[in-house]
């Protein structure tokens, strides 16, 4: 299975956003490396993408509190989805997906945390 490398601080920010109650938004990247979390509702993706670009970043992933990847609200230019979920014991899990070549489906990836 392919891997998606995430900085540990970014993973912690995603989990913190879930615990704060938002649990959805966009991850921004600089030079192809994910680095910023922009909490927002899916309806606000367009405005959030404009903010990301104005800061010299590119959209990297959408994230949400969901059990399975959603093909609907994710803008086509965003190649990854990160899902945040709590298991039955209350442990918060991260799952990553990459858009398929034909953009019709999502393929699950392993997540590797980088010690930044």
pLDDT over threshold 80, residue 102: no
Number of domains comprising the chain: 1
Please give the full DSSP string across 7-69, using - where no structure is assigned. EHHHHHHHHHHHHHT--EEEEEEETTEEEEEEE--GGGHHHHHHHHHHTT-EEEEEEEE-SS-
Determine the structural domain holding residue 78 and report its residue range. 3-114
pLDDT digits (tens, 9 = 90+) for 8-40: 999 999 988 888 887 899 999 999 999 999 999
Q: What per-residue confidence (pLDDT) applies to 11? A: 92
Beta carbons of 37 and 14 less than 8 angstroms apart? yes
pLDDT band at 99 (very low <50, low <70, confident <90, very high): confident
pTM for this entry: 0.87
Q: Residue 102 maps to which CATH number? A: 3.40.140.10
pLDDT digits (tens, 9 = 90+) for 42-82: 889 899 999 999 999 999 999 998 766 665 567 778 889 99
Average pLDDT over residues 78-91: 80
Q: What per-residue confidence (pLDDT) applies to 91? A: 74
**Do β-strands 24-30 and 33-39 pair in parallel, antiparallel, or remain unpaired?**
antiparallel
């Amino acid at each position: 299975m392919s891997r998606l490398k995430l900085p540990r601080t970014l993973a912690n920010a995603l989990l913190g956003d879930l615990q704060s109650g938002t649990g959805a938004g966009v991850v921004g990247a600089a030079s192809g490396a994910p680095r910023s979390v922009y909490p927002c509702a899916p309806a606000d993706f367009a405005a959030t993408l404009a903010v990301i670009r104005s800061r010299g970043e590119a959209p990297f992933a959408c994230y949400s509190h969901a059990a399975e990847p959603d093909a609907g609200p994710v803008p086509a230019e965003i190649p990854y989805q990160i899902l945040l979920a709590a298991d039955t014991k209350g442990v918060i899990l991260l799952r990553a997906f990459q858009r398929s070549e034909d953009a019709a489906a999502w393929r699950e990836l392993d997540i590797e945390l980088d010690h930044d």
